[in-house]
């Protein structure tokens, strides 16, 4: 699915823009690094609540995270 691939690319892009590691983001989301990496790799589905949590970590609106998908 093209939208999912664009979203996982966006997750990595925004993480790198903040200069954070996968481990740092995972800690902020109270999950294991392995679990977070599975979202960023697209091997685990993201639900809307998780998208909202990720957006909160980056201090942006969920719509900003989803922009351009």
41 CB neighbour count, 10 Å cutoff: 12
Distance between CA atoms of residues 34 and 31, nearest Å: 8
Q: pLDDT category, 2, cuts 50, 70, 90? A: confident
pTM for this predicted structure: 0.89
pLDDT of residue 1: 63
Q: pLDDT category, 24, cuts 50, 70, 90? A: very high
CB hemisphere CA count around 22 (13 angstroms): 13
Q: What is the pLDDT of residues 30-55, one digit of tens each?
A: 999 999 999 999 999 999 999 999 99
Distance between CA atoms of residues 18 and 14, nearest Å: 6
Answer whether residue 10 shows pLDDT above 70: yes
DSSP 42: T
pLDDT of residue 58: 96
């Amino acid at each position: 699915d093209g939208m999912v691939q664009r979203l996982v690319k966006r997750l990595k892009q925004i993480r790198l823009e903040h200069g954070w590691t996968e481990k740092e983001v995972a800690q902020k989301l109270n999950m294991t690094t392995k679990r977070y990496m599975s979202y960023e790799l697209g091997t685990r589905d993201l639900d809307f609540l998780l998208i909202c949590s990720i957006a909160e970590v980056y201090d942006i609106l969920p719509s900003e995270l989803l922009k351009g998908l």
